[in-house]
A and B are shown apart, each in its own frame.
Chain A
């Protein structure tokens, strides 16, 4: 559709585009990304003929763009600029009707049925049909932008060029507009070339992305391959983190603000325990990966609550009840990880370890009334809600990769199993060695500061520390639990 070949451009002495070459295919949603001053807007202006070509050629459907007459060109290409000039005294429809200019004869234009339909359709697709008689000056910024888009759509172009189309819009409007464009791309084989500022929006909607850096192609390809941390960091000269989108198979990119180093205080956390709950507060938020009742999955948290509930606690909506409980006790739910146990909290075991690089705190409450051997659990058909849970919280002053989180969970689980083994805990039903209980929780929380740990398996110092601490704390907690059992 569009073939850019060896295009360079300079304003006076300053060269903004260096020998650019790329192709945009028909029916493609093509994104242009790059930091400010990388030449994105200049490139788009060249494509829209707002600026004359200096060097190189741009082919549109095989023909050099400067060889089209203005009307021919407008029938093929429509432009939505970043700041659409709005003229006062015109109604929305009057503005959109201008989009039909290129389809009409010059001297005695006739307003045909096709013109009427194109305008109506354009107005409907941007949801401005109901406002078609409103004067433009009554519209909000987002609505004006949509009115401009309607004019561009009324042109019925094959190619739509957009310069940051969602600039003045709120989130819902942005998605709506891009969904609309995507639909046009899919249904009418429209080709869209759009400048984006937002990496994530671009990744969500574009089929391919061109990354510009200092007027050169930094890379070009599909968003999933393109949004590599290293490439992006190099292009944007800023630390960026790539993640996976929670629902659609796309990448997300997150900015990394410059953080102040956490003051190297001795106390990264404080523990307070009562009969009712054990509360660990951290000085700054810790990134936690957990299977806790409240705040499971990845979550930034400052408060870790292990709550005691009596043996006869029974609630169908335990999570909801727990949230209400946390609220009642003035915890900010967004920053809190909450667990429950029927074990007496004074039987909890605490293990603190530290070496020159890391510091670690493990708190374990263990009840094994409900012990299960995971390898033989399938033999048991009872649904057991007998209380009895092993809750393990591991706080680390370290910077963990996602892999390290998973390995830390594995290491901690292995250590727990070993502790159960050494304490000779049996699954009462199958009479085999238990590996845990049916409702265990595990929290791995790290400050994401200090030393960076790519891995946390048992081969690493951190893994060794986790294994040892969890093992010792779990054994200790089990011993206390049993002691109490024997007394009663």
Chain B
């Protein structure tokens, strides 16, 4: 069951954040910060100038150097945008999984969907798969398909293990599936030769050094997946009251379920294909967002999108600045926040069950 924050009176901050313009502003500010801060610090004023220059050939100000343009256009901007898209994708997918499965612990990572997508991606590297007609979209497409299949595998096992599909059962099976896929990936890595480095770097989960190619690769999946989930807010609300209740008010349960799961898999698979497995974003962000705007998916989904993006931009910012000049994998930051949140939520759901 989804647990809202309504028992507590809302704090001032919660009220402020429960507001679309402010959330949007916050997202833009984090993007700005992400672009500005780094080994080469770039003043806020220069950023707009450089973007305008890149887009419309606007004249550059005197104090803007060529290095700055290079850093922003080729490195920072794609990196920050990628972080935003991936964070938004994972958070949105997490919110959808949680609503559909009535399970606060569900997210692409805990369900094993990320691992499934990773297997697909590694397989693409390993076998050098190239789908006809899809070209460079082969990687995300294979990942998405693997994510979707993994999801059904996990849900199938969970239902076999226990008809009621308790929260813990699903997560446990997700972990088992993750472990199995992890070993599959390790096997492929061990067998691989020259592609090894690429796979390792990718596996660590990172948005670094991906460039614009990956941004363009991700965007169509992001648009389609987000659209599918955002228009299903009423169905997700209905599912929160149980499948029977959803059927009673006229939701085509089987069809809508598949569509929502497909949408979430689309987001997850594409995100993993681009950035590797970044854990817990889909868990932490919807949870925090629920504290701000309640459980209603009409608000939860768009806010999760915005805050998820902002969250990962900040996480990436921390990852690359905290021990500069070296970089931490971004997954370290998200897990650092995510694992304790996961433990807290697990504890709470167990406690409620025990009474």
A residues sitting closer than 8 Å to B (CB atoms) are: 48-50, 69-71, 73-75, 78-79, 81, 84-91, 94-95, 98-99, 101-102, 104, 107-109, 135, 137-138, 151-152, 155
Residue picked from A50, A86, A88, A135, most chain B C-beta under 10 Å: A88
15 further interface pairs, Cβ-Cβ under 8 Å (given A70-B252, A89-B295, A101-B234):
A70-B251, A74-B250, A85-B241, A87-B2, A88-B295, A89-B4, A89-B5, A89-B296, A90-B4, A91-B6, A98-B238, A101-B249, A137-B7, A138-B6, A151-B249
Contacts of A109 in B (CB 8 A): 234
Residue picked from A98, A101, A137, most chain B C-beta under 10 Å: A98
Contacts of B3 in A (CB 8 A): 88-89
Give the docked Cα–Cα distance between A86 and B3 (Å): 11
Q: Within B221-258, which residues are at the interface with A (CB < 8 Å)?
A: 231, 234, 237-238, 240-242, 244-245, 247-253
**B248 nearest CB neighbor, chain A only:** A79
Determine if B242 and A85 form an interchain contact, defined as CB atoms under 8 angstroms apart. Answer: yes
Determine if A87 and B249 form an interchain contact, defined as CB atoms under 8 angstroms apart. Answer: no
CB of B14, distance to nearest CB on chain A (Å): 13
Contacts of A81 in B (CB 8 A): 244-245, 248
Give the docked Cα–Cα distance between A215 and B6 (Å): 45
CB of A116, distance to nearest CB on chain B (Å): 15
Q: Within B8-63, which residues are at the interface with A (CB < 8 Å)?
A: none
**A74 nearest CB neighbor, chain B only:** B250
CB of B303, distance to nearest CB on chain A (Å): 13
CB of B18, distance to nearest CB on chain A (Å): 13
Determine if B247 and A90 form an interchain contact, defined as CB atoms under 8 angstroms apart. Answer: no
Give the docked Cα–Cα distance between A84 and B240 (Å): 12
Q: Is B294 an interface residue (CB 8 A)?
A: yes
CB of B101, distance to nearest CB on chain A (Å): 13
Determine if A85 and B245 form an interchain contact, defined as CB atoms under 8 angstroms apart. Answer: yes
CB of A246, distance to nearest CB on chain B (Å): 39
Instruction: Give chain B's interface residue range (CB within 8 Å of chain A).
Output: 20 to 34
**B253 nearest CB neighbor, chain A only:** A70
28 A-B contacts, Cβ less than 8 Å apart? A48-B248, A50-B244, A70-B247, A70-B253, A74-B248, A79-B244, A81-B244, A87-B2, A87-B241, A88-B295, A89-B2, A89-B6, A90-B4, A90-B237, A91-B296, A95-B241, A98-B237, A98-B249, A101-B234, A101-B249, A101-B250, A101-B251, A102-B249, A102-B250, A135-B4, A137-B7, A138-B7, A155-B250
Residue picked from A70, A73, A79, A151, most chain B C-beta under 10 Å: A70
Contacts of A70 in B (CB 8 A): 247, 250-253
**A68 nearest CB neighbor, chain B only:** B250
Give the docked Cα–Cα distance between A155 and B251 (Å): 13
Determine if A73 and B295 form an interchain contact, defined as CB atoms under 8 angstroms apart. Answer: no
Contacts of A89 in B (CB 8 A): 2-6, 290, 294-296
Determine if A98 and B241 form an interchain contact, defined as CB atoms under 8 angstroms apart. Answer: yes
Contacts of A49 in B (CB 8 A): 247
Main secondary structure of the interface of B (DSSP, over half): loop
Give the docked Cα–Cα distance between A152 and B252 (Å): 17
Contacts of B2 in A (CB 8 A): 87-89
Contacts of A151 in B (CB 8 A): 249
Give the docked Cα–Cα distance between A232 and B240 (Å): 41
Give the docked Cα–Cα distance between A70 and B255 (Å): 11
Contacts of B6 in A (CB 8 A): 89, 91, 135, 137-138
Give the docked Cα–Cα distance between A71 and B247 (Å): 9
Contacts of A91 in B (CB 8 A): 6, 294, 296
Give the docked Cα–Cα distance between A109 and B290 (Å): 23
Q: Is B166 an interface residue (CB 8 A)?
A: no
Contacts of A135 in B (CB 8 A): 4, 6-7
Q: Is B1 an interface residue (CB 8 A)?
A: yes
10 nearest CB pairs, A to B: A89-B4, A89-B295, A74-B250, A102-B250, A85-B242, A135-B6, A87-B240, A71-B250, A79-B248, A70-B252
Contacts of A107 in B (CB 8 A): 231
Known: A70-B250, A74-B250. A88 touches B4 (CB 8 A): yes
Residue picked from B231, B237, B242, B245, most chain A C-beta under 10 Å: B245
Give the docked Cα–Cα distance between A98 and B2 (Å): 17
CB of A72, distance to nearest CB on chain B (Å): 8
- Out of A79, A84, A98, A152, name the residue touching B234 (CB < 8 Å): A98
Give the docked Cα–Cα distance between A73 and B3 (Å): 31
Contacts of A90 in B (CB 8 A): 4, 237, 240, 294-296
Contacts of B242 in A (CB 8 A): 85
CB of B62, distance to nearest CB on chain A (Å): 49
Residue picked from A69, A89, A95, A101, most chain B C-beta under 10 Å: A89
Give the docked Cα–Cα distance between A49 and B237 (Å): 21
**B5 nearest CB neighbor, chain A only:** A89
Give the docked Cα–Cα distance between A70 and B249 (Å): 8
**A95 nearest CB neighbor, chain B only:** B241
Give the docked Cα–Cα distance between A90 and B240 (Å): 10
Contacts of B251 in A (CB 8 A): 70, 101
Contacts of B249 in A (CB 8 A): 74, 78, 98-99, 101-102, 151, 155
Give the docked Cα–Cα distance between A91 and B5 (Å): 12
Contacts of B7 in A (CB 8 A): 135, 137-138
Contacts of A86 in B (CB 8 A): 241
Contacts of B295 in A (CB 8 A): 87-90
Give the docked Cα–Cα distance between A49 and B234 (Å): 21
Scan B294-332; emit 1 where CB is below 8 A from any A CB, else 0: 111000000000000000000000000000000000000
Contacts of B234 in A (CB 8 A): 98, 101, 104, 109
**B3 nearest CB neighbor, chain A only:** A88
Give the docked Cα–Cα distance between A84 and B248 (Å): 11
Determine if B250 and A75 form an interchain contact, defined as CB atoms under 8 angstroms apart. Answer: yes
Give the docked Cα–Cα distance between A86 and B102 (Å): 11
Residue picked from A69, A99, A101, most chain B C-beta under 10 Å: A101
**A71 nearest CB neighbor, chain B only:** B250
Give the docked Cα–Cα distance between A487 and B269 (Å): 115
**A50 nearest CB neighbor, chain B only:** B244
CB of A194, distance to nearest CB on chain B (Å): 15
CB of B223, distance to nearest CB on chain A (Å): 16
CB of B37, distance to nearest CB on chain A (Å): 36
CB of A148, distance to nearest CB on chain B (Å): 8
Determine if B245 and A84 form an interchain contact, defined as CB atoms under 8 angstroms apart. Answer: yes
**B291 nearest CB neighbor, chain A only:** A89
Contacts of B253 in A (CB 8 A): 70
Residue picked from A49, A90, A138, most chain B C-beta under 10 Å: A90
Give the docked Cα–Cα distance between A312 and B290 (Å): 81
Give the docked Cα–Cα distance between A99 and B253 (Å): 15
Contacts of A84 in B (CB 8 A): 241, 245
CB of A122, distance to nearest CB on chain B (Å): 13
Contacts of A74 in B (CB 8 A): 248-250
Determine if A69 and B245 form an interchain contact, defined as CB atoms under 8 angstroms apart. Answer: no
Give the docked Cα–Cα distance between A168 and B3 (Å): 23
CB of B148, distance to nearest CB on chain A (Å): 22
Determine if A69 and B240 form an interchain contact, defined as CB atoms under 8 angstroms apart. Answer: no
